Amino acid sequence: MSLIENITNEFKREYTPQINKSIVAFANTSGGTLYIGIADDGSVVGVQDVDSTLLTVSNSIRDAIKPDVTLFVDYQIEEMEGNTVIKIIVQKGTASPYYIASKGIRPGGVYIRQGASSVPATEAAILRMIKDTDGEKYEDVRSLNQDLTFTEAAKEFETRKVPFGASQQKTLGVINADNIYTNLGLLLSDQCVHTVKLAVFQGAVKAVFQNRHEFTGSILKQLNDIYAYIDRYNSLRSEIKGLHRTDMRDYPIEAIREALLNALVHRDYSYSDSTLISIFDDRIEFVSIGGLVKGISFDDMMLGVSVARNRKLANIFYRLTLIEAYGTGVPKIIRSYDGFSVKPQIEVTDNAFKITLPNTNAGIEMSTLTDNECIALELFKNRQYIVRKDVETVLSGSQALASRTLRGLVEKGKIRAAGQGKNTKYEIC
């Protein structure tokens, strides 16, 4: 016999589960033929129980390999040198990467042909195969992690009385036609790798951290956790006029909600960098990866025109009544500031999207301060504490004026004094 082992031929003396690696490698590369009943040296030893072996092989290939590769596998019985040999002819599949189900879509489960051997594919090769097969849309691509759980997502669906069984997951796109989890499934899962980093700063610049937190897990859990966290910093200001009291939040609740939803639903998840939320005394900034979707201009967006980057994710948020319709978020944010002197800002670059929500009470609070007190407060932008001499210098005034200015800020709860006499230092409250 003139056959030799090479990139498209492989010999197996008898059936073993290791055959599945070769089938996977052929399907992921250029196809090939695996012979059962031929030893490594090319001698034909034959198969004793052909029917039983053929049944075992076909069942194993069907059950142990994902996606389903059986459509690209053909079995033939052939007589060679007086012995019976099983030929397994494998075509290159159309849904690569194929992998050993128990190992997952990782180098230990995905194989390719390299010369006469079946070797683990590199992660880069796996990602390239996924992209070539599934296309560019992140949410449609097969997740590299197939060991996903949906504890938090199931809670959210149950709370909102929306079914989340296997059939619904397939309809929504969490599972594809081959019963494989997609990246959309990864986003909803407890194992979601994308995070949101939130930082609280003292003052109006990124100089002194007051607090910071990284939110992980299902993006549905992140949504709830982040909103609750921001709400702690959305202070309530009460103003009494005559017999009437008016309560005003620092930030319109609807503006925070829509800005947060925009950051989670419309970001570009093909990048691994975290979404960033920064809370200052006078504003909150939401920065997410990914500019506008191709074909949509800034003016289009401001008019309410929207093309969802993650259509299936947006559809899930719509079903959960978290969003009403595409394109309504930014106009809602703008409208929520009607009647206020400060307005939200929207900034877009090729690769990032930023929403800045101004604190509606920041200007009101400052208006109760004298000009000298406002000037003194500005000193804290560049330092953690000040002393009386600093205020004397910036006001070009006397010791009495500086002391009076600092005393006024203390009484109004803006700063606090630490120490006594000449050693007194003042810090932001």
| CATH classification of the domain holding 411 | 1.10.10.10
| pLDDT value for 366 | 46
Whether residue 2 is contained in a domain is answered as no
pLDDT of 295 > 90? The answer is no
Residues 128 and 209 in one domain: no
pLDDT tens digit sequence for 84-131:
999 999 999 988 999 999 998 989 999 999 999 999 999 999 988 988
| pLDDT value for 178 | 85
Q: Are strands 425-428 and 385-386 parallel, antiparallel or unpaired?
A: antiparallel
Amino acid at site 209: F
Q: How many domains does the chain have?
A: 4
> Phi and psi at residue 194, in whole multiples of 5°?
-90, 140
Tally Cβ neighbours within 10 Å of residue 237: 14
> Phi and psi at residue 219, in whole multiples of 5°?
-65, -20
> 3-state DSSP call for residue 124?
helix
- Please report how many Cα atoms fall inside a 13 Å half-sphere around the Cα of residue 30, on the Cβ side: 8
Whether residue 55 is contained in a domain is answered as yes
Q: Cα separations (Å) of 149 from 145, 190, 416?
A: 11, 6, 49
Residues 358 and 270 in one domain: yes
Handedness of CA 109, 75, 52, 70 (dihedral sign): positive
pLDDT tens digit sequence for 198-255:
999 988 888 888 899 999 999 999 999 999 999 988 887 655 555 555 567 899 999 9
Residues 334 and 411 in one domain: no
Residues 215 and 175 in one domain: no
Burial 278-289 (b: 16+ CB within 10 A, else e): bbbbbbbbbbbb
Residues 336 and 388 in one domain: no
Residues 273 and 379 in one domain: no
Whether residue 3 is contained in a domain is answered as no
Residues 340 and 213 in one domain: yes
Is 368 within 8 Å of 355 (Cβ atoms)?
no
Which of 158, 188, 218 is a domain's end point? 188
Whether residue 347 is contained in a domain is answered as yes
CATH number at residue 334: 3.30.565.60
Q: Average pLDDT in the 3-22 region?
A: 93
Is 317 within 8 Å of 260 (Cβ atoms)?
no
CATH number at residue 109: 3.30.950.30
Residues 54 and 153 in one domain: no
Taking all residues of the chain, what is their mean pLDDT, rounded to a whole number?
Answer: 89
| Cβ contacts of 184 within 8 Å, gap of 6 or more | 139, 140, 172, 173, 174, 310, 312, 313, 316
Q: Provide the token pair at 79.
A: 């007589």
State if pTM tops 0.75. Answer: no
Is 226 within 8 Å of 215 (Cβ atoms)?
yes
Whether residue 379 is contained in a domain is answered as yes
Report the candidate in 340, 397, 348, 337 with the shortest Cα–Cα distance to residue 371.
Answer: 397
| pLDDT value for 165 | 94
pLDDT of 303 > 50? The answer is yes
Which of 170, 188, 206 is a domain's end point? 188
> 3-state DSSP call for residue 87?
strand
Whether residue 313 is contained in a domain is answered as yes
Residues 259 and 358 in one domain: yes
Residue 367: band (very low, low, confident or very high) from pLDDT cuts 50, 70, 90: very low
pLDDT of 325 > 70? The answer is no
Residues 175 and 111 in one domain: no
Is 357 within 8 Å of 259 (Cβ atoms)?
yes
Which of 363, 392, 409 is a domain's end point? 363
Is 123 within 8 Å of 106 (Cβ atoms)?
yes
Whether residue 4 is contained in a domain is answered as no
Residues 25 and 85 in one domain: yes
> 3-state DSSP call for residue 41?
coil
Is 383 within 8 Å of 361 (Cβ atoms)?
no
Residues 85 and 218 in one domain: no
Whether residue 68 is contained in a domain is answered as yes
Domain of residue 419: give its range. 368-428
